[in-house]
Amino acid sequence: MPRISESTIREHREHTMTALLDSAEHILKTEGNAALTPARVSEGAGVARNTIYRYVRNMDDLRRLVLHRHLPSWNRALQSGLRGISDPRDIIAAWVRINLEQSSIHGHTWMMGLPESTADARTPPAHRAGDLPEDARPARTGNESDNSDRPGFHNDVDEPIVEAWTRLAPRSARTGIVVTKGLVSSGMRLLDCMPQDGETGRKGRAAVIADIERCARAAIAALCDGDGVGSGDAGPDRQM
């Protein structure tokens, strides 16, 4: 009887895990969180129902792993896009644009309510993180700035605008942060309602992102004016 190699077993595990994640993500995107059940996931993945529990402990573990497919790249895009920008006005505008671009790529509404932390998404010993697909591994990447696998993800994402508004308009910082996040949330809802395919959908999404970024810049100008910050100033850091 031929012996099955370890690499073949690993490939089989990766293939099965990918099928489970694909099935779960499709259900979450098309039917919502409540529709995610072991029976539906196993049917979509083409595996026996009890196979799921060889890879995850429960449905929340599976939800975390699906979310982990998207949050790290979102976080990296934000860090990369903001790198090198020093003017707080430009940081705020870029933060708005990048988050909307990532929402357009990954979607947003379907992620709401999913557990963020993969810290408890332990796989049984027979299915080590190294046997999972790259985009499903809960283990850290080794880049300590990638905090998207823990509950502080949203705090980490918000940090650039908190710092930017505090520098730019200290007296109006809280209002600026709330308005900025509100604009992004509204933009995400608009993007979720738009066609995802075709040239018309692409142009429509680009127009929404540009409009929301302009609104953000208008809010920056209005709040800076009310805070006594001139157009050439960038808050206390530039005051002599």
Per-residue pLDDT of 37-66, as tens digits, reads 999 999 999 999 999 999 999 999 999 999
Return the minimum-mean-pLDDT range out of 24-28, 61-65, 107-111, 209-213. Answer: 107-111
Tell whether the model's pLDDT for residue 123 goes beyond 50: no
Among the listed residues 22, 21, 18, 2, the one whose alpha carbon sits nearest the alpha carbon of residue 10: 18
**Where residue 119 falls among pLDDT bands split at 50, 70, 90?**
very low
Query: What domains lie within the chain, and their CATH numbers?
Result: 1-69+118-143 (1.10.10.60), 86-116+151-240 (no CATH)
Phi, psi of 119 (to 5 degrees): -60, -30
61 closest CA partner among 135, 118, 20, 14: 118
Calculate the alpha carbon distances from 213 to 59, 100, 178 in Å.
37, 9, 15
Give the list of residues 6+ apart from residue 40 with CB closer than 8 angstroms, or none: 23, 27
pLDDT at residue 139 in the model:
39
Q: Could you tell me which of 80, 67, 2 has the C-alpha nearest to residue 29? A: 67
129 Cβ neighbours under 8 A, 6+ residues apart = 123, 137, 138, 139
Burial grade of 181 (CB within 10 A; 0-12, 13-18, 19 or more): middle
What is the structure's pLDDT at 154?
73
Average pLDDT over all residues of the chain: 81
Decide: 143 and 112 in contact? Cβ < 8 Å: no
CA distance 17 to 50: 13
129 phi, psi to nearest 5 deg: -55, -35
Angle at CA 107, nearest 5°, toward 162 and 19? 125
